[in-house]
């Protein structure tokens, strides 16, 4: 075999530098991956605990916890529409035209009612725009408000308690049973299943025909 | 049974260009890197994306929710509402049902209750919603003085109107002229009558190039009544069309297409078409004669003579038809025999380019055959007043003080009138959607309100009254034609009040709120219903006019209005510009259409720039060699070459109208220039590649298959043989566990290739428009395309259309090559595309045998205007740059229907899910549904003997099956 032919099978000298590159990569890549995954899944990224200040200091703890208002009094579209609508100012004024009619905390509500301009509520639970979540599909099948939104009845200021990440959604779509309850009790904040959640949930699941899909186009399209 | 179908002449010849196009799915990719401008853009974008890395550490943006202060009744945020309205085109009304999403109209559908719609629409109704949001629409009142454009106001106009009305007013209205666009609106008619009472000397001219005025004149000749025929193709067994495009460019095209397809599916009609240029009607014909435009009249006369000699009681003194060519003689004698046999199921139709006497002849034939009342009904024609010639005379004589132009665009559509010199002799006020060519010559331009944002009304030819209901408050300061008329009359009423007043008048004088609300809800009020006219034939002096057919010598140019932008009124609509024309598959422009033989005689090559000269005028435009064009005929398409239409249409294509001087045909000279023209035709792009299959040596099937009507009647053998649809799988089959298994059937017997599905899909799924340059590179984004195939000889080919969309293969080739699992299969049998996973390798598209995947080469919505954004369907992601996309079977509609049904704890019914393409289809060629439900229409059609799959030999197991085309010619049986 000729000299030329043999050299084809010998690594060229520049590959010596690869040792350095590979060595650095071996150290850096695992660190990078750990940081990336840790950052991506951290509550800071998923916004758990996010509790922005609202233009009106509305207290769910007072209205739901103490006065016992049902969620659907204000979020009345939750059973028929994808969006659990933020109520129009008119809904506030149903009571506040008489109750605390002069409270300084309600100035912007009265202003909105008088001028017809909306109150700029700050969105707390913000899904990405490529997620097409439907409230009615969940509420009608017995997924309680509390499963995703937490104990709103104890919150002075609403905050996000769950990560609302895709993995978190899929946990429930793959195993919905522990999260099911009779559909008429979805708004109850302190409901506990009468028996083991898995057993009770399995029965409900059959009754209600709950077959959550994990296909991509269920939520993304 | 099968024919060899080909797509273009270059494929038939198997030219190197075609081979290259098939090999390169996305041609000219390397060009992007060598084009300096594109490269700079790329570097800029790369720099910007680096900059974004720095922002990634910031928090999510704060989002606010703005609820109503007081919510309108019945309105739920994010839940679409539907409102009935109507659209006017070709002098007829089309009932619509428009989807409003949070107060924005986003999608147009047909109104199933309306007799002209029956739930479907034409492509122009689909595109209307984009016209509403067109950023080029005029927004303000403009006054032009001595060439200066001054932004004015309605108040200024009102004052100016008062002073310019003063002179006509003093003279009983003499000098006041109105040029209206022929919209069949009862309110407009009422105001017109009020105007003629107030100003008895005022003159009114209706002019719309799309109105079939000659038919009304013809019927007036024959019977003394201006009437219009309403074909009932659902009753017609033998149809003869002489240059009438009844399936697309016709006042009742949607209903016609439905009726035609109904019978065609059962093989129970036969269509004869004689026409100079191929149309979709000609493409659907069983016998098609490519006849020069001058030959249509002699052919019609020869038919009448043949029928009379066979004993049909015509009792007309028919002049001689002259000499017929052998193929003409055969066409006529076969047609005459079939028409006689069909009796009252026969129907003869003539196109708008034929003279009035021809329409009178058609009436006489239909009556003698017994067709009147069965396959055609006559109603009084929409009122058309005056003529352009009268207006021109008056303008020349200086008798016009004030000319009010309501809609239309006469400067472009009637270039034979020297408008620019005439307009200087009068004060011209022009109401228009755009500040276009006509407005630029007028003293005043007034912004017109779009029909989706203003009140109005329309009357269908068959008498149904529809209220045009606005979906949104006027975006700009627009007013309707009726409101402007009211201004002239001094009423100053809003459109709403004007329409209600008309309604009160129509319904017995007193306004009935209940009836009004019902009319708004249903979209129409039948009233007593216009009963068909009973016409009596008058003397037959018109027959003599038939004998004076001009001799067919030399090269004749034949004018036709475009099948997309029509006379240019929709030119600024990018959806329509980018829609491939049904026959030529041309986008973004027009061409001179030539028969292959004529082209070679003239020494012109396909795509070459040619010079067409007629009576001292010349135009330069590319030549398109289109099989099926009549010999020695140049087809010239109107509607292009606009100069002041807007940013989309300006200088797209060539304006050919000046050659014609107001007539439909003219004698021309055509010479090649040797230069290459700029055509953007999609006909060889995204071609399904059969070359590779031939090499495999086992081509099981053909792409387009057909069966004859006689074999259908005799009980058809299944078109798909044996295991063809489901060849044995070499490995374990995947089972699908979903409750629903979606499937679609496309009936090639019904499909007429109009392209409404393409526009509907574009509107529903936020599909971008890419522009001419990108189309030339094969980068158009339509999720559904309509493949057009020719078969037979190039001189007189047969045509076939095949809508091609993602086949949702159970064994999908695209899924097997995606390195990031961005396209996967769902349990319901859908081939899902996940945009967020896609990294843009385009392997899937390479491996897709159907060529239905589309890649976003750019962020096509980067510079989208705020008004344009309002049209987006919020249920569908707006895709960014660098991702693949394709048909989703309208997953948003599937999910919506599923959630709605499950919320009511009921199973999904057949017909609950209708994709946009199936909903719009005038012929109901597309059927979608659940294959698991054996009673569903789609499951039954999957078992139809006509059902077959495309490229099933690749074991793709498509979820889209096609039903073989049905032909009804004697040769086929």
Asked whether residue B35 carries a pLDDT value surpassing 90, the answer given is no
Q: Can you give the pLDDT at residue A145?
A: 94
CA distance B428 to B969: 55
CA distance B195 to B385: 14
**Position B45 confidence tier, pLDDT thresholds 50, 70, 90:** very low
CA distance B266 to B167: 65
User: Which residues in chain A touch residue B61, judged by CB atoms under 8 angstroms apart?
Assistant: none
pLDDT, tens digit, 9 for 90 and up, residues A90-122? 999 999 999 999 999 999 999 999 999 999 999
Outline which parts of chain B fall under CATH 3.40.50.740. 142-207+384-511
Cβ-contact B573, B130 below 8 angstroms: yes
Given CB atoms, is B372 within the 8 Å cutoff of chain A? no
Mean local confidence (pLDDT), B649-671: 92
Q: Which residues pair with residue B107 across a beta bridge?
A: B99
Mean local confidence (pLDDT), B378-395: 90
Asked whether residue B216 carries a pLDDT value surpassing 90, the answer given is yes
A6 belongs to a structural domain: no
Query: Taking CB atoms and an 8 Å limit, are A130 and B905 in contact across chains?
Result: no
pLDDT, tens digit, 9 for 90 and up, residues B80-89? 999 999 999 9
Asked whether residue B57 carries a pLDDT value surpassing 60, the answer given is no
Q: Can you give the pLDDT at residue B30?
A: 46
pLDDT, tens digit, 9 for 90 and up, residues B499-548? 999 999 998 889 999 999 999 999 999 877 678 888 888 888 888 888 76
Given CB atoms, is A209 within the 8 Å cutoff of chain B? yes
Mean local confidence (pLDDT), B899-913: 92
Q: Token pair 């050659």 is at which residue?
A: B659
CA distance B290 to B795: 9
CATH of segment(s) B213-380: 3.40.228.10
Q: Which of B193, B186, B252, B129 lies closest to B455, judged by CA?
A: B186
Check residues B915 and B615 and name the one with the higher pLDDT: B915
Mean local confidence (pLDDT), B323-347: 94
Verify that A166 and A66 share a domain, yes or no: yes
User: Which residues in chain A touch residue B79, judged by CB atoms under 8 angstroms apart?
Assistant: 77, 80-82
Eight-state DSSP code of residue A39: H
The residue of A45, A80, A85 whose CB has the most chain B CBs within 10 angstroms, and thus the best one to mutate to test that interface, is A85
Given CB atoms, is B50 within the 8 Å cutoff of chain A? no
Given CB atoms, is A70 within the 8 Å cutoff of chain B? no
Task: List CB contacts of B837: < 8 A, sequence separation 6 or more.
Answer: B820, B821, B822
If you compute the radius of gyration of chain A from its CA atoms, what whole number of angstroms results?
27
Report residue B610 as tokens.
């040619």
Q: Can you give the pLDDT at residue B74?
A: 83
Residue of B71, B79, B876 with shortest CB distance to A81: B79
Verify that A103 and A168 share a domain, yes or no: no
pLDDT, tens digit, 9 for 90 and up, residues B276-319? 999 999 999 999 999 999 999 999 999 999 999 998 888 888 88
CA distance B200 to B78: 53
Average pLDDT, chain B: 89
Q: Can you give the pLDDT at residue B27?
A: 52
Verify that A106 and A161 share a domain, yes or no: no
Verify that A72 and A93 share a domain, yes or no: no
Asked whether residue B43 carries a pLDDT value surpassing 60, the answer given is no
Check residues B496 and B24 and name the one with the higher pLDDT: B496
CA distance B286 to B969: 5
Q: Can you give the pLDDT at residue A1?
A: 45
Verify that A101 and A209 share a domain, yes or no: no
A99 belongs to a structural domain: yes
User: Which residues in chain A touch residue B72, judged by CB atoms under 8 angstroms apart?
Assistant: none
Segments forming the whole domain that contains residue A31: 13-45
Residue of A121, A140, A216 with shortest CB distance to B64: A121
Q: Which residues pair with residue B177 across a beta bridge?
A: B203, B403
Mean local confidence (pLDDT), B689-708: 63
How many domains in chain A? Answer: 3
Residue of A nearest to B888 (CA): A221
Q: Can you give the pLDDT at residue B71?
A: 86
Residue of A52, A83, A113 with shortest CB distance to B78: A83
pLDDT, tens digit, 9 for 90 and up, residues B112-161? 999 999 999 999 999 999 999 999 999 999 999 888 999 999 999 999 99
- Give percent of chain B with pLDDT exceeding 70: 92
* Fold category of B553-614+629-681 in CATH: Barwin-like endoglucanases (2.40.40)
A206 belongs to a structural domain: yes
**Position A6 confidence tier, pLDDT thresholds 50, 70, 90:** low
Please give, rounded to a whole number of angstroms, the shortest distance from the CA of A79 to a CA of chain B: 8
Tell me which residues of chain B, numbers 831 to 860, contact chain A at a CB-CB cutoff of 8 Å: 832, 834-836
Verify that A165 and A75 share a domain, yes or no: yes
Verify that A172 and A75 share a domain, yes or no: yes
Cβ-contact B662, B416 below 8 angstroms: yes
Query: Taking CB atoms and an 8 Å limit, are A90 and B69 in contact across chains?
Result: yes
pLDDT, tens digit, 9 for 90 and up, residues B457-513? 999 999 999 999 999 999 999 999 999 999 999 887 899 999 999 999 998 889 999
Query: Taking CB atoms and an 8 Å limit, are B68 and A218 in contact across chains?
Result: no
> Rounded to 5, what percent of chain A is helix, strand, coil?
50, 0, 50
Given CB atoms, is A135 within the 8 Å cutoff of chain B? no
Verify that A93 and A82 share a domain, yes or no: no
Tell me which residues of chain B, numbers 900 to 939, contact chain A at a CB-CB cutoff of 8 Å: 902-903, 905
Verify that A184 and A98 share a domain, yes or no: no
Residue of B nearest to A89 (CA): B69
Mean local confidence (pLDDT), B835-848: 94
Average pLDDT, chain A: 90
Tell me which residues of chain A, numbers 34 to 63, contact chain B at a CB-CB cutoff of 8 Å: 47, 52
Outline which parts of chain B fall under CATH 3.40.228.10. 213-380
Please give, rounded to a whole number of angstroms, the shortest distance from the CA of B874 to a CA of chain A: 10
Given CB atoms, is B64 within the 8 Å cutoff of chain A? yes
Verify that A81 and A91 share a domain, yes or no: no
Q: Which of B867, B835, B846, B856 lies closest to B767, judged by CA?
A: B856
Outline which parts of chain B fall under CATH 2.40.40.20. 553-614+629-681
Verify that A71 and A92 share a domain, yes or no: no
Residue of A117, A132, A136 with shortest CB distance to B69: A117
Query: Taking CB atoms and an 8 Å limit, are A123 and B63 in contact across chains?
Result: yes
Task: List CB contacts of B866: < 8 A, sequence separation 6 or more.
Answer: none
A55 belongs to a structural domain: no
Q: Are strands B402-406 and B456-459 parallel, antiparallel or unpaired?
A: unpaired
Verify that A161 and A207 share a domain, yes or no: yes
Architecture of the domain defined by B142-207+384-511: 3-Layer(aba) Sandwich (3.40)
- Give percent of chain B with pLDDT exceeding 90: 75
Q: How far, rounded to the nearest angstrom, does the alpha carbon of residue B858 sit from its chain's CA centroid?
A: 28
CATH of segment(s) B5-25+685-967: 3.30.70.20
Q: Return the minimum-mean-pLDDT range out of B44-53, B275-284, B503-512, B672-681.
A: B44-53
């Amino acid at each position: 075999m000729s000299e030329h032919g043999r050299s084809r099978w010998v690594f060229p000298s520049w590959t010596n530098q690869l040792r350095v590159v590979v060595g650095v990569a071996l150290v850096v890549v695992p660190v990078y991956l750990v940081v990336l995954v840790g950052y991506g899944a951290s509550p800071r990224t998923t916004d758990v605990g996010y509790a922005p200040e609202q233009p009106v200091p509305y207290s769910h703890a007072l209205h739901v916890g103490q006065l016992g208002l049902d969620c659907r009094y204000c979020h009345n579209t939750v059973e028929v529409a994808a969006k659990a609508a933020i109520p129009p100012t008119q809904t506030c004024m149903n009571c506040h035209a008489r109750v605390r009619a002069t409270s300084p905390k309600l100035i912007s509500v009265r202003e909105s009612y008088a001028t017809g301009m909306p109150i700029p509520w700050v969105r707390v639970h913000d899904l990405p725009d490529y997620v097409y979540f439907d409230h009615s599909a969940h509420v009608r099948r017995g997924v309680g408000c509390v499963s995703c939104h937490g104990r709103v009845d104890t919150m002075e200021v609403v905050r996000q308690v769950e990560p609302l990440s895709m993995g978190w959604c899929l946990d429930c779509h793959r195993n919905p049973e522990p999260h099911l309850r009779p559909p008429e009790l979805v708004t109850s904040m302190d409901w506990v299943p009468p028996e083991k959640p898995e057993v009770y949930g399995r029965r409900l699941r059959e009754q209600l025909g709950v077959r959550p899909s994990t296909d991509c186009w269920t939520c993304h399209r | 049974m099968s024919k060899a179908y080909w797509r273009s002449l270059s494929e038939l010849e198997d030219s190197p260009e075609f081979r290259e196009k098939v090999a390169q799915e996305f041609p000219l990719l390397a060009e992007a890197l060598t084009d300096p401008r594109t490269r700079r853009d790329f570097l800029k974008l790369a720099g910007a994306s680096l900059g974004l890395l720095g922002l990634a550490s910031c928090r999510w943006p704060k989002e606010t929710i703005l609820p109503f202060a007081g919510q309108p009744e019945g309105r739920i945020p994010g839940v679409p509402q539907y409102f009935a309205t109507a659209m006017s085109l070709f002098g007829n009304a089309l009932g619509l049902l428009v989807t409003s999403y949070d107060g924005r109209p986003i999608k147009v559908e047909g109104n199933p209750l309306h007799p002209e719609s029956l739930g479907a629409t034409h492509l122009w109704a689909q595109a209307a919603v984009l016209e509403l949001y067109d950023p080029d629409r005029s927004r303000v009142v403009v006054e032009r003085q001595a060439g200066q454009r001054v932004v004015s106001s309605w108040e200024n106009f009102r004052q100016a109107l008062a002073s310019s009305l003063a002179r006509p007013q003093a003279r009983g209205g003499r000098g006041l002229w109105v040029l209206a666009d022929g919209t069949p609106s009862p309110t407009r008619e009422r105001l017109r009558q009020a105007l003629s009472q107030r100003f008895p000397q005022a003159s009114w001219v209706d002019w719309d190039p799309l109105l079939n005025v000659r038919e009304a004149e013809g019927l007036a000749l024959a019977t003394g009544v201006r009437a219009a025929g309403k074909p009932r193709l659902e009753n017609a067994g033998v149809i003869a069309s002489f240059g009438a495009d009844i399936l697309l460019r016709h006042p009742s095209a949607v209903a016609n297409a439905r009726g035609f397809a109904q019978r065609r599916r059962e093989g129970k009609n036969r269509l004869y078409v004689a026409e100079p240029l191929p149309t979709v009607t000609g493409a659907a014909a069983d016998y098609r004669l490519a006849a020069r435009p001058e030959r249509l009249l002699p052919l019609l006369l020869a038919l009448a003579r043949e029928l009379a000699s066979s004993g049909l009681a015509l009792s007309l003194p028919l002049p001689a038809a002259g000499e017929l060519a052998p193929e003409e003689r055969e066409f006529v004698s076969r047609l005459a025999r079939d028409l006689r046999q069909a009796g009252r199921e026969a129907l003869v139709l003539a196109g708008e380019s034929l003279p009035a006497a021809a329409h009178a002849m058609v009436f006489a034939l239909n009556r003698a055959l017994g067709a009147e009342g069965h396959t055609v009904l006559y109603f009084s024609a929409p009122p058309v007043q005056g003529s352009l010639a009268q207006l021109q005379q008056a303008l020349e004589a200086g008798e016009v003080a004030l000319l009010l132009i309501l809609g239309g665009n006469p400067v472009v559509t009637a270039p034979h009138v020297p408008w620019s010199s005439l307009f200087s002799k009068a004060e011209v006020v022009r109401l228009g959607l755009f500040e276009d060519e006509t407005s630029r010559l007028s003293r005043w331009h007034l912004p017109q309100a779009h029909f989706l944002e203003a009140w109005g009304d329309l009357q269908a030819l068959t008498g149904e009254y529809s209220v045009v209901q606005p979906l949104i408050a006027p975006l700009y300061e627009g007013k309707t034609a009726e409101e402007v008329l009211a201004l002239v009359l001094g009423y100053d009423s809003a459109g709403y009040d004007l329409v209600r007043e008309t309604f009160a008048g129509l319904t017995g004088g007193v306004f009935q709120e209940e009836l009004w609300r019902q009319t708004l809800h249903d979209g129409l009020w039948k009233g007593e219903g216009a009963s068909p006219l009973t016409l009596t034939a008058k003397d037959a002096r018109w027959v003599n006019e038939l004998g004076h057919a001009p001799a067919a010598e030399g090269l004749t140019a034949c004018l036709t209005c475009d099948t997309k932008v029509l006379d240019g009124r929709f030119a600024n609509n990018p959806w329509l510009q980018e829609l491939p024309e049904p026959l030529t598959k041309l986008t973004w422009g027009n061409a001179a259409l030539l028969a292959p033989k004529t082209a070679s005689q003239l020494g012109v090559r396909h795509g070459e720039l040619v010079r067409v000269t007629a009576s001292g005028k010349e135009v330069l435009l590319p030549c398109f060699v289109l099989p099926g064009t009549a010999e020695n005929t140049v087809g010239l398409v109107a509607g292009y070459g606009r100069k002041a239409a807007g940013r989309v249409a300006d200088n797209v294509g060539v304006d050919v109208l000046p050659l014609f001087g107001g007539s439909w045909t003219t004698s021309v000279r055509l010479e090649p220039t040797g230069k290459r023209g700029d055509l953007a035709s999609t006909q060889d792009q995204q071609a399904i590649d059969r070359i590779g299959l031939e090499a495999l040596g086992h081509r099981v099937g053909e792409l387009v298959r057909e069966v004859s009507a006689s074999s259908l009647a005799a009980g058809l053998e299944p078109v798909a043989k044996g295991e063809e649809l489901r060849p044995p799988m070499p490995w374990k089959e995947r089972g699908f566990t979903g409750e629903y298994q979606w499937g679609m059937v496309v009936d090639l017997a019904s499909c007429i290739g109009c392209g409404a599905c393409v526009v509907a899909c574009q509107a529903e799924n936020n599909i971008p428009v890419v522009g001419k340059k990108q189309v030339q590179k094969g980068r158009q984004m339509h999720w559904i395309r309509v493949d057009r195939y020719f078969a037979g000889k190039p001189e007189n080919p047969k045509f076939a259309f095949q809508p091609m969309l993602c086949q949702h293969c159970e064994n999908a080739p695209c899924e097997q090559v995606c390195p990031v699992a961005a396209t996967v299969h769902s349990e319901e049998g859908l081939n899902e595309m996940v945009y967020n996973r896609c990294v843009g390798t385009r392997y899937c598209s390479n491996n897709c045998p159907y060529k239905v995947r589309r890649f976003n080469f750019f962020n096509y919505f980067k510079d989208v205007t705020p008004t344009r954004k309002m049209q987006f369907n919020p249920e569908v992601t707006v895709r960014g740059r660098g991702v693949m996309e394709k048909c989703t079977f309208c997953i948003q509609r599937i999910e919506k229907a599923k959630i709605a049904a499950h919320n009511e704890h009921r199973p999904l019914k057949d017909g609950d899910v209708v994709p946009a393409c199936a909903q719009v289809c005038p012929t109901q060629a597309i059927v979608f549904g659940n294959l698991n439900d054996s009673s569903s229409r789609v499951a039954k059609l999957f078992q139809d003997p006509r059902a077959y799959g495309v490229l099933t030999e690749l074991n793709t197991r498509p979820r889209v099956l096609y039903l073989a085309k049905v032909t009804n010619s004697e040769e086929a049986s």
